[in-house]
Structure 1
C-alpha cells in the first residue's frame, strides 16, 4: 500500500451516494467505525451477490456502531439503479469523477480495468486503518471475517 499503513490515518473523502447526498468519511470519526467496501462494478455477478449479502446482514453490521460504505467508480445514476433494483439500503458512493481519485488514495484502483479492486478496509472510530483485505476480482468477500474485524474495533 503506497502511503497507507495499518494503524495510520484513513484518507478522508467526500463522495456522493446513490441519493445524491454527500458522504464524508471523517464525519463518522468519534462515533462510528466504518467498513469501506470497494467493488468493481454495479450489476456484475459477484458484486450483486456480495452487496445483497451485506443488505441481508446489515443489522449485524450495524450492531457495533458501524457504518458500511460501498465504493465503486460507477456513475451516480448507475448506483441509484443498482440500489433500487436490489434494495440496497446503505451508502453506495460514486468515485466516478475525478475517476478513481479516492480508489487510488486507497491503492486499490485497477488502471487496466478502470475500476476498484475488490478490497475492504475497516476504519476505527478514531479514523485509523485497522484491517484490510484484498480479494481477486472473481472472489467474493468473507462477510463473517468482516464482522469479526468490526467487533474488534467497536
Structure 2
C-alpha cells in the first residue's frame, strides 16, 4: 500500500553517497522534505529526472525544503553518479536491507528489485502533503512537484 496524502511519512535513516546517515526525522520542524524514489543510478530516465532537479534546484530545494533522492543502489554507485552528474542534493542508498524503505512507502518493485518512481512531499509536521507513483520507464512530470512545493505554507 502506497503512503497516502494526509498520513505520517514513515521515518527512515539511510546512508548517503558518502555513507553518512541521513534521517527523515532530522528535518521535522525545520524543513519540508521532497522524497524522490527512483529505480537506478545511471539509467536514462532516472538521469534525466534528477538532472532536471539539478538544473532547477531552487524550485525543489530551498530554505524551506530539502530534496532527498532514494534508490536501492549501493552508496559507492551513488557517489560515482553524483560526481558524474554534479548532483548536490543527497542521494540515499536503500540497498540493505534491500528496498526496506521503498517497501514502507509502498513503492518497491519486487520483480525488478528496485524502487518505483515515487515522489512524496513531507511537511514540517511529518505529514505527507503530496504523493505520486509512476511505473518503471514512465518519467514523471515535475511541474506537479513544483506546485506542491510552492503551495507549502511559508514558515
Taking structure 1 as the reference length, what is the TM-score of the superposition?
A: 0.95
Residue in 1 that maps onto 2:93: 94
Counterparts of 1:147 and 1:6 in 2: how far apart (Å)?
Answer: 16
* Offset at residue 153 of structure 1 (A): 2.4
Matches within 5 A, 1:70-85: 70-85=69-84
* Offset at residue 42 of structure 1 (A): 0.2
Extract unaligned runs of 5+ from structure 2: none
Contact 1:16 1:22 in 2 (8 A): yes
Taking structure 2 as the reference length, what is the TM-score of the superposition?
A: 0.94
Question: Tell me, what secondary structure is at the counterpart of 2:40?
Answer: coil
Residue in 2 that maps onto 1:50: 49
Counterparts of 2:62 and 2:43 in 1: how far apart (Å)?
Answer: 28
Residue in 1 that maps onto 2:16: 17
* Offset at residue 140 of structure 1 (A): 1.5
* Offset at residue 79 of structure 1 (A): 0.3
Q: 4+ residue runs of structure 1 moved beyond 6 angstroms?
A: none
**Residue 112 (1) aligns with residue 111 (2):** yes
Contact 1:61 1:68 in 2 (8 A): yes
Counterparts of 1:130 and 1:17 in 2: how far apart (Å)?
Answer: 24
Counterparts of 1:148 and 1:43 in 2: how far apart (Å)?
Answer: 27
Residue in 2 that maps onto 1:103: 102
Counterparts of 1:115 and 1:133 in 2: how far apart (Å)?
Answer: 17
* Offset at residue 80 of structure 1 (A): 0.3
* Offset at residue 64 of structure 1 (A): 5.8
* Offset at residue 68 of structure 1 (A): 0.5
* Offset at residue 38 of structure 1 (A): 0.4
Counterparts of 2:89 and 2:9 in 1: how far apart (Å)?
Answer: 20
Counterparts of 1:25 and 1:63 in 2: how far apart (Å)?
Answer: 16
